[in-house]
Structure 1
Amino acid sequence: MNFSQKRTIIWINSGIYYEKVTVQKYKQNITFQGQGYTSTAIVWNDTAKSSNGTFYSGSVQVFSSNFIAKNISFMNVAPIPSPGDVGAQAVAIRIAGDQAFFLGCGFFGAQDTLHDDRGRHYFKDCYIQGSIDFIFGNARSLYENCQLISMANPVAPGAKGINGAVTAHGRSSKDENTGFAFVNCTLGGTGRIWLGRAWRPYSTVVFAYTSMTDIVAPEGWNDFNDPTRDQTVFYGEYNCSGAGANTTTRAPYAQKLNDTQASLFLNVSFIDGDQWLQSYI
């Protein structure tokens, strides 16, 4: 199955639509087409507490294969939690279908904004905003030319505390073929954050050609307070720039990738995109 098959296109006019949306597995080849991510949005405000779990809190949940979204935002407007708050996670979208493509979309929330759950996904020219683990899941996804904006609380100059993280990837086994790759992205905003936390032992995340401001903590990464994961995670950086990209004092398990290592993550071949994205990139 590929994107060349007949599609159902749902045109969504400018405005904010307060509703919770689920795209079921049997509704394949669906496109949501908005008028721009700053003017068209689907909005809800469930939290983990109100929806019986983080995974079910998404304003939009996609289980379908071959889903496309263009020029639209997905928002969860639940209050921004403090680190450690119980039940405050609030997902804007959960993507659990294979071969999904997001072009020019916005994802707005705080903790756990974008649940990149499972499957192969491509995000291009998107805006992703959050505070704690705001891109999480166990998908194999490429994020290209995306803006990553931390909404964590500002910290005082010289403060050492951490109050946010961009990613929490959930790869549990060496036999899984999953991971997040960020290429030609920008990372900024507020707070003092990690690039990723090892939600599961084989967590896999790469940042390449990405501009990072000084909100990134010098150590860069966190093993979820489980040193046994230091031997199994794959956290890599390649040709990044900006004040937050200094790798001198990175966590010892983080890797500064060489050309060969990085080449596996730099384009759509990472997500087998040559098999299903031909008409959309």
Structure 2
Amino acid sequence: MQLSIMNTATIFNSFQLLLIFTCMLLINAAIVTQGARYHHESTFNYLSSTNISNQNHHWIGPIGHRVITVDVNGGGQFRSVQEAVNAVPDNNRMNVLIQISAGYYIEKVVVPGTKPYITFEGEGREVTVIEWHDRASDPGPNGQQLRTYRTASVTVFANYFSAKNITFKNTAPAPMPGMQGWQAAAFRISGDKAYFSGCGFYGAQDTLCDDAGRHYFKECYIEGSIDFIFGNGRSMYKDCELHSIATRFGSIAAQDRKYPYEKTGFAFVRCRVTGTGPLYVGRAMGQYSRIVYAYTYFDNIVAHGGWDDWDHANNKNKTVFFGVYKCWGPGAEAVRGVSWARELDFESAHPFLVKSFVNGRHWIAPTDA
């Protein structure tokens, strides 16, 4: 009898173990299946959001996609770009592609900070143009002078903005020597994580206001005479043409990094500096201004010394970071013309050569870098 009870207990325990083992297998299979489904869905969402197949730039994160068409001649949903922007709801969570047909859009456009994930796509920077003509000395709606930052033909405060194959222009004429208040921006970017590809920026003084945030410019054309890229953005310019129309003296970049702990700065990689001069390649707008040129070609238009410390009074030459790495062309030697412009080695140049300078791994698709 005792033996029989022991056999029954042994059988019962074995059955329990088998049942537990079976349950564990089923749970593990469910986890694996769910994980595989999550991986598949994540991959699908990533590919959908980057839209690699049609080479449009879309942001990773928002859900859904919407297309809005603009045609100044009446062939789209709207005739003006601002009307299309107004049609995007506040706190937008979709990728919104605003397709802008060829034509000249004579208007001032603002993308507010409440409308992220918007893309402007033109039919080519030679044929799709948004332009306006404000200058810093012009009166604003309140009767007071606009000042530089409010002159931009297009202003973007929103995060995750992108633009492709379109031109932004300010048609105000270049100032004559000694004239004040003629700053006239074509574009102002004040949002974070903005991407530009195949775009044109045309103006005279202060063309591109690279105000704040992380930005990536690829294969763009930027034209101006004095400080035609300026602000305190943290931006990379890759394979861009920087074209000077200076008649007496000009300058390309004025970077406004104010404190040593700021990560801001301008990195120009594989760019071309062309046009007329003489011009400075960089000016110390901020006490800790940071500008680097790498693998960049310079026409013979660079001013003696190459760089300017802005006011010659605050010892900025001791606090700025102006760097050069493997630049070339007839004007390249002048870029090395002051002792406080550094000739970088690979180790010190590398942080400015890759998209991680703008934390690009997290918001720029590999095909867009």
**What is the TM-score when the length of structure 2 is the normalising length?**
0.72
> Taking structure 1 as reference, are residues 61 and 248 closer, same or farther at Cα in structure 2, changes over 3 Å only?
closer
Residue of structure 2 in register with 1:29 after alignment: 117
Out of 51, 59, 76, which is 1:3 matched to?
59
Does the 8 A contact of 2:303 with 2:334 survive in 1?
A: no
Does the 8 A contact of 2:255 with 2:286 survive in 1?
A: yes
Residue of structure 1 in register with 2:12 after alignment: none
- Structure 1 residue runs without a partner (length 5+): 156-162
Mapped to 2, the partners of 1:41 and 1:259 lie a distance apart of 39
Mapped to 1, the partners of 2:185 and 2:131 lie a distance apart of 11
> Taking structure 1 as reference, are residues 190 and 119 closer, same or farther at Cα in structure 2, changes over 3 Å only?
same
Residue of structure 2 in register with 1:186 after alignment: 272
Out of 251, 255, 263, which is 2:342 matched to?
255
- CA deviation map 1:151-185 (0-9, x unaligned): 111x6xxxxxxx10001000001011100000000
Residue of structure 1 in register with 2:185 after alignment: 91
Alignment of 1:171-210 (within 5 A): 171-210=257-296
Residue of structure 2 in register with 1:45 after alignment: 133
> Is it true that 1:111 corresponds to 2:192 in the alignment?
no
> Taking structure 1 as reference, are residues 259 and 247 closer, same or farther at Cα in structure 2, changes over 3 Å only?
farther
**Offset, 1:49:** 0.7
Residue of structure 1 in register with 2:329 after alignment: 242
Out of 297, 304, 309, which is 1:223 matched to?
309
Higher helix share: 2
**Offset, 1:252:** 1.6
Higher relative contact order (CA 8 A, sep 6+): 1
Mapped to 2, the partners of 1:89 and 1:249 lie a distance apart of 29
**Offset, 1:249:** 5.9
> Taking structure 1 as reference, are residues 249 and 99 closer, same or farther at Cα in structure 2, changes over 3 Å only?
closer
Mapped to 2, the partners of 1:224 and 1:65 lie a distance apart of 31
Instruction: Give the letter for the 1:171 counterpart.
Output: R
**Offset, 1:82:** 3.1
Query: Secondary structure of the equivalent of 1:240?
Result: coil
- CA deviation map 1:55-109 (0-9, x unaligned): 0000000000000000000000001113542110000000000000000000000
Mapped to 1, the partners of 2:148 and 2:334 lie a distance apart of 33
Number of residue equivalences? 272
Moved over 6 A (4+): none
**Offset, 1:226:** 2.2
> Taking structure 1 as reference, are residues 76 and 248 closer, same or farther at Cα in structure 2, changes over 3 Å only?
closer
Does the 8 A contact of 2:158 with 2:191 survive in 1?
A: yes
Please give the root-mean-square deviation of Cα atoms over the aligned residues, in Å. Answer: 1.3
Instruction: Give the letter for the 2:161 counterpart.
Output: F
Instruction: Give the letter for the 2:338 counterpart.
Output: A
> Is it true that 1:65 corresponds to 2:159 in the alignment?
yes
Mapped to 2, the partners of 1:248 and 1:3 lie a distance apart of 37
Residue of structure 1 in register with 2:231 after alignment: 137
Query: Secondary structure of the equivalent of 2:236?
Result: strand
Instruction: Give the letter for the 2:271 counterpart.
Output: C
Residue of structure 1 in register with 2:174 after alignment: 80
> Is it true that 1:12 corresponds to 2:132 in the alignment?
no
Does the 8 A contact of 1:222 with 1:251 survive in 2?
A: no
Mapped to 2, the partners of 1:33 and 1:54 lie a distance apart of 26
- Structure 2 residue runs without a partner (length 5+): 1-57, 63-93, 141-145
**What is the TM-score when the length of structure 1 is the normalising length?**
0.94
- Identity over the aligned pairs, expressed in percent? 48
Mapped to 2, the partners of 1:148 and 1:241 lie a distance apart of 15
